[in-house]
Amino acid sequence: MSTAKHIVQTEPQYLTLRDAIATPFALVAPADAPDQPPRHSSFKAYTKGCLYDSDGARVDLSVRVGGIGGDQAASIDPEVLPPEQRGGSWLTGRTLYLGTFMNHYGHFITESLSRYWRQEAGAFDHIVAYPFMHNDGNILVREFHRYLARLLDVPIDRMTILRSQTVFDEIVVPEQLWTYNVHVNAHMREIYGRISARHAGKRPCGRIFLSRTNSSRLGNLPAVEDVFASFGFRVVYPERISIADQLTLYANCEILAGPSGSAMHNCLFARPGLMTIEVGDVRARRNPVFMQRIANELAQVDAHFIPFGEGKDVRIDPKIVKKRLRDILSELPRRGPVLLLRLKRKWGRLKARSKPAKRANA
């Protein structure tokens, strides 16, 4: 499916509301919502929590709809808030609404960042957001959250999470420019451009393969690393380096590759025209998942995909990976870099074993 029609060109919208009401966040199990239509097998929960105007009408611009495609959660906020359920603690001054704060990296750089386009965010008296179903509704603010928000001048350290009913003196609601598994607004290119511009123009980083320390969807990732190393790719584990260093890699690499998943969303921070190579897994067997196809189109990269296949084995055939890489790159593999990578792995294991065990506190 072409994703071009899923990139919209409309001007981003926002609402300024007075006396608006935020209902508290809540997770609702599917068994506790029998009136809802059947959902797909991977669906996990319904969510509640959104804004209502002073007359009790739901502010649709504030809602994360969800539940589309393989999305695991969907909103079930009613269209009207009954009069007896209105009211709440009063928050004076001007407030900026940031929608749903996502703990997970892939969701954050797509959905959450798509409300961070108001460039005067620091001028607001308050910033508010909702949690999500991840981590049972708890908020886990990490380095990448703070760093990316800081590059966009959004002070999330002042963010308040909406867990109790609140009425706002004045609240500004920016449109969510990326709707999960639906579409993205082309204005997001400016958001990612503001981030990547802070890291571009540095020393070229060569070919990069973004791996991870473990994967339940690709059972022989070290074998795939070996194949990519033989074609001159440096194997990088994003979780082991700072987000600033990661963004420098994405903005300055020659080719960006990796297994399916949120790591490949990082093409959004790369230069247009960059070659990307994605290795499929048990979730993305024949094609990238829809969110990745949207990301590829938005980033305007030269995207290539190595299919996983239809077998029950969670391991991809390294011979297939090697053949596809040979075809994509029009070159032959080399043995030396593979041996060096294996030595590094062995050295890493030896270092891990030699570390003394941490003693428990008395």
| CATH number where 325 lies | 3.40.50
Same domain assignment for residues 161 and 13: yes
pTM, to two decimals: 0.92
Q: What is the pLDDT of residue 339?
A: 87
Indicate whether 358 belongs to any domain: no
Same domain assignment for residues 179 and 258: no
Structural domain for 281, as ranges? 207-353
Indicate whether 311 belongs to any domain: yes
Residue appearing with tokens 């070159």: 331
Q: Identify the domain boundary among 122, 155, 185.
A: 185
Q: What is the pLDDT of residue 354?
A: 75
CA atoms of 205 and 210, how far apart (whole Å)? 13
Same domain assignment for residues 170 and 298: no
Could you write out the DSSP letters of every residue in 200-218?
Answer: TTSS---EEEE--S--SS-
Q: What is the pLDDT of residue 361?
A: 45
Indicate whether 146 belongs to any domain: yes
Same domain assignment for residues 148 and 81: yes
Q: What is the pLDDT of residue 213?
A: 84
Same domain assignment for residues 153 and 271: no
Tally of domains within the chain: 2
Same domain assignment for residues 313 and 166: no
Could you tell me which of 209, 194, 72, 178 has the C-alpha nearest to residue 132? Answer: 72
Q: What is the pLDDT of residue 305?
A: 98
Contact assessment for residue 224 and residue 250, using Cβ atoms and an 8 Å cutoff: no
Indicate whether 242 belongs to any domain: yes
Same domain assignment for residues 219 and 180: no
Residue-level pLDDT, tens digit, the chain, 362 residues: 445 579 999 999 999 999 999 999 999 999 999 999 989 888 999 999 999 999 999 999 999 999 998 899 999 999 999 999 999 999 999 999 999 999 999 999 999 999 999 989 999 999 999 999 999 999 999 999 999 999 999 999 999 999 999 999 999 999 999 999 999 999 999 999 999 999 999 889 999 999 998 888 899 999 999 999 999 999 999 999 999 999 999 999 999 999 999 999 999 999 999 999 999 999 999 999 999 999 999 999 999 999 998 888 999 999 999 999 999 999 999 988 888 888 888 777 777 777 765 544 43
Q: What is the pLDDT of residue 1?
A: 43
The number of angstroms, rounded, from the C-alpha of 28 to the middle of its chain's C-alpha atoms is 23
Q: Identify the domain boundary among 153, 185, 217.
A: 185
Same domain assignment for residues 84 and 213: no
Could you tell me which of 56, 76, 54, 51 has the C-alpha nearest to residue 66? Answer: 76
Indicate whether 114 belongs to any domain: yes
Q: Identify the domain boundary among 151, 185, 219.
A: 185
